[in-house]
Amino acid sequence: MTEADVPAATAIGHDAFEPSDTAVTAQSQARGERRFSHLRSTDPAGAWVAVDDDERVVGAAMGIVREGVWGLSFLAIVPGHQARGIGRQLLERAMAYGDDARVDARIILSSTDPKAMRRYSRAGLGLRPCVAAAGIIDRERVPERSPEIVAGADVDATAELSRAVRGAGHHRDIPVLLEGGMELLLHSDRGFAVHDEGTVKLLAARDEAAARELLWAALAAGPRGGTVAVDFLDAGQDWAIGVVLEAGLALSPDGPIFVGGDPGPMAPYIPSGAYL
């Protein structure tokens, strides 16, 4: 992937992962391009595109490595070019980057696409079923925010928290989320969360009590009457299930998490779709 491919890769991602009636906004395009440009700079050997005979980008994949943990940040193919082996070849290139880096663990957050789930399972990774939560917060049920939670905290303070949960820090990637208008919440030395107007983008904590307080604080930061969401809640996150149900959100099936090797306990944890 070159920098010139970034806008096309961003558009492919929108078409693949957003509802068909969702318009591309200037903010969403800018966020997508910022993500791809950032990962091209940190993991150039993991960034790949597929092009057709006219040199148009028809697929893209991005594998990233953080402190011995490999993750698939992105894989999508233009609909008219699916079922041709392009996705398999892109995944192989992205995973080979992890082989070159001699990683100890692998993480993929899958969509609900049966072809994607088959592809990741056949790559030798174990499947962890997940649910998602979404809806409008019942404001009468929101507890008082913990005074230990501070907004706009030091990004470097998150590194050890992430390492304790998934074996690698998020501190190289969180600034990109914040540049896109999201907010970081830090719970002393016990945990942190990143949210986008109440929709949780990342959360890691040393204990479930801190994780619950962070999740409540992130959800409550959403606009009154607006929809918020939490994705990729697997069986190890019952603490989060309790919070989202108490908040009045509805559960639905979500794409599974695929894991290989030892990425750590991955709990209490809500992974980032872009940065795992």
Q: Report, in angstroms and rounded to the nearest whole number, the Rg of the chain calculated over CA atoms.
A: 18
C-alpha to C-alpha distance for 112 and 96, rounded to whole angstroms: 24
The residues, ordered by sequence, that sit 6+ positions from 117 with a Cβ below 8 Å of its Cβ are 110, 127, 255, 256
CATH 3.40.630.30 residue ranges of the chain are: 3-103
C-alpha to C-alpha distance for 16 and 29, rounded to whole angstroms: 14
C-alpha to C-alpha distance for 71 and 246, rounded to whole angstroms: 32
C-alpha to C-alpha distance for 159 and 179, rounded to whole angstroms: 18
132-255+264-270 CATH, one of 1.10.3720.10, 3.40.630.90, 1.10.150.20, 3.30.70.20: 3.40.630.90
Torsional sign, CA 177, 183, 187, 189: positive
Entry pTM: 0.94
- Whether 172 and 165 have beta carbons less than 8 Å apart is answered as no
CA of residue 147 relative to chain centroid, distance: 27
C-alpha to C-alpha distance for 74 and 80, rounded to whole angstroms: 18
CATH 3.40.630.90 residue ranges of the chain are: 132-255+264-270
For the chain, what percentages of helix, strand and coil (3-state, to nearest 5) are there? 40, 30, 30
C-alpha to C-alpha distance for 139 and 233, rounded to whole angstroms: 22
Question: What is residue 122's predicted lDDT score, i.e. its pLDDT?
Answer: 92
Cis (ω within 30 of 0) for the bond into 268? yes
Tell me the per-residue pLDDT of 152-164, one tens digit each, with 9 for 90 and over: 879 999 999 999 9
Which of the residues in the chain have pLDDT under 70?
A: 16-23, 81-83
Tell me the per-residue pLDDT of 168-211, one tens digit each, with 9 for 90 and over: 999 999 999 999 999 999 999 999 999 999 999 999 999 999 99
3-103 CATH, one of 3.40.630.30, 2.60.320.10, 3.40.50.1980, 3.40.190.10: 3.40.630.30
Question: What is residue 43's predicted lDDT score, i.e. its pLDDT?
Answer: 97
